[in-house]
Amino acid sequence: MRKLVAQWQESRQEHEGWLEWLLYRKLSTTSKVLLGIGLTILWLKYAFNLVVMVRFFEVSLAIAMLLGIGWGIKKGYQLLKKVSKKRS
């Protein structure tokens, strides 16, 4: 894994993330096809289960809310810090 990360850091483009680099440059066509089949099977298994979909939505919403609260706290702290510097 460390070798892959080192290769990624050396050869990536500015706009490329880890997953994009891995999918485009390192995985063979067979690996990409197998990944696609695996993801399709997972989707077919869970997409029609209403309870799983509702739970997935609830967890996604909770994560989004926590991230939003964290972002708001961070911005509020930065604003208070900026205001306190101006007063000093």
Write the pLDDT tens digit of every residue in 2-47: 888 888 788 877 888 888 888 888 888 899 999 999 999 998 988 8
pLDDT at position 1: 79
pTM of the model: 0.52
Q: What is the length of the chain? A: 88
Say which residue, 79 or 86, is predicted with more confidence.
79
Distance, CA of 68 to CA of 57 (rounded, Å): 16
Say which residue, 77 or 21, is predicted with more confidence.
77
Q: Which H/E stretch holds residue 63?
A: helix 50-87
Rg (CA), the chain: 21
Say which residue, 74 or 23, is predicted with more confidence.
74
User: Is pLDDT above 90 for 61?
Assistant: yes
Distance, CA of 70 to CA of 18 (rounded, Å): 24
